Structure formats: C-alpha cells, structure tokens
Structure 1
Amino acid sequence: MATDYDAPRRESEDLAEDSLEELKARRNDAQSGVVDEDEGAIAENFELPGADLSGEEMTVKVLPKQADEFTCSSCFLVHHRSRLAENRNGRLVCRDCAA
C-alpha cells in the first residue's frame, strides 16, 4: 500500500478508533477508479498554448552523400571522413562503433 509521507500523522488513539469496516472501505475506495492511460494517446492530444501548427508544413532539403563522407557499416549513419576509425576488409567503421 502506498504511503503519503506529506499527509499529517495521526495519533495512535485515532488509529485505534477506526473500525475494520472503515479501513476496508478506504482501501477499496483507493483502489477503485484507477485507470492506466496510454502516454502516447495523452501526448497526441497535448497542444502548446498559442501554437497553431495546423497549416504548417515542414520542408527539409536532403542531400546525397558527399565525396568526403562515408556510411558506417555498423550503425549505417553517414559520417564525415574525419570520423573514420578503421577499414575492416572494405567495411568502413566510424569512431563511435570502433570504440
């Protein structure tokens, strides 16, 4: 059972006065009505105040791999040649994956 450490403490006389039925009723009330919600569903309905992005369209210019870049054979990311750690039988590996 969860304990609320911020709640005021009750005296031992008060605890002795609680009947078994009251304690059971409180436990059932605390457990009922609790519903786990999907965080993804909550995030979909979340809107920033004053931000109307309904008409916005994001455009990104994608460039092909340049002559001074390579694709790591381990993580498959495109890196600059300065990030090349080793060449394993023709397979280029970046510094992050070689470590």
Structure 2
Amino acid sequence: MATDYDAPRVTESDESTDTSLEQLTASRNDTQSPVVDVEDTDSAESFELPGADLSGEELTVRVLPKQADEFTCTSCFLVHHRSRLADPAQLICRDCA
C-alpha cells in the first residue's frame, strides 16, 4: 500500500479538540504534583566555598623567573617559549595570532 507523506498526520489529540477549558485546567492540575523531591543527603556540604580559611596551607610550587629563551605575549600575558612566537614585532604567541 502506498503512503502519502505529504498528507497531514492525524493523532488522537487532534480528534478531541472539543474539550472545554475547565476540563483542560482540571487535567493539568491532576498531572502536577505539589510534592518536591528532596534528597536525604545534602551534597552542598562537600563543597568548599570561596573565601574559605586557607591560612594553614603552604604553596609547594616552585616559581621560576622568565628565562632568556621565553617571552610574554602582549595579548594573553602568558609566558611562552620563543618557538611559539608568531609576530616578533608585537610579541604575540601563535594561539593569539
């Protein structure tokens, strides 16, 4: 049997268009639940908020000064190796160029 794909589709909701406004609002209120699902465990307790007291922490990262074969990009202000230099006149890295 051939199917006409250009013909409009008819569904059950299209056939029952004679429902009143009162019936629609009643069915909408029946489907909505006033109860909110709340988890028993509060996951927010495991996160640290900004401004937490970190006075007891120490930095363990060793910071090196800029080396002779490095440059600071004038666009992103990151320190790159000279091999990443895209424009020597403006000191711009390849990522920013």
TM-score bracket for this pair, using the shorter chain length? 0.3 to 0.5
- What's the TM-score, normalizing by structure 1? 0.47
Q: Look at both structures and tell me which one has the larger radius of gyration over its CA atoms.
A: 2
More helix by share: 1
- What's the TM-score, normalizing by structure 2? 0.47
